[in-house]
Amino acid sequence: MANSKSSKKRILNITRNTIQNKKYYKNVKTFIKKYFLSLETYRKEPNLSNLEFMLKIISFIESKLDKAAKINVLSKNKVSRKKAFFNNIQTYFLSLEIYKNEPNLLHLETTLKNLYRIYDKHIKLLKINF
């Protein structure tokens, strides 16, 4: 138990900062869930508007992750791993859109299964059955 007045204040500050950090990371996880839902809508209806929406969410998530690393909510290594994961998904879908007008749905489904499996190992956010 804290004895001095400064140590009591420090405990209050730590609890306040912990709550703020958890709220911020929960917000980031919510946007990641929205991203996976947008992936699912793109899988069902592969068109340009769904792709643009998905790419906007990716850029928003990356900015939120950078901010989380800046204010020390998440470690820089964790943020770089997550950003690399989202960049891999982004380059995959952009290559599909550039080289083919309509993606190969079987290849798309197997790739999405692998991506969900990789991501669910780290954070269990959303389980989508194909």
- Could you tell me if residue 26 is inside a domain? yes
27 in a domain, yes or no?
A: yes
- Reading phi first (left if > 0) and then psi (alpha if -120 to 50, else beta), residue 72 is in left
- Label residue 14 by pLDDT band (50, 70, 90): very high
Which CATH number belongs to the domain containing residue 114 in this structure?
Answer: 1.20.58
- Residue 61 falls within a domain, yes or no? yes
Least confident of 2-11, 60-69, 90-99: 90-99
In a domain, 93, yes or no: yes
Q: Within a domain: residue 58?
A: yes
Number of structural domains (the chain) is 1
- Burial of residue 26 (CB within 10 Å: 0-12, 13-18, 19+) is exposed
Tell me how far apart the alpha carbons of residues 12 and 66 are, in angstroms, rounded to a whole number.
27
Tokens of 117: 């499996």
128 lies in some domain: no
pTM for the structure as a whole: 0.66
Instruction: Find the domain containing 47 and state its range.
Output: 8-122
Q: What is the pLDDT of residues 44-92, one digit of tens each?
A: 887 778 888 888 888 889 999 999 999 989 999 999 988 888 888 777 7
Distance CA 59, CA 92 (A): 15
Separation between Cα atoms, residue 61 and residue 21, nearest integer Å: 16
> Is 112 inside any structural domain?
yes
CA distances from residue 13 to 8, 22, 51, 71 in whole angstroms, order as listed: 9, 14, 43, 15
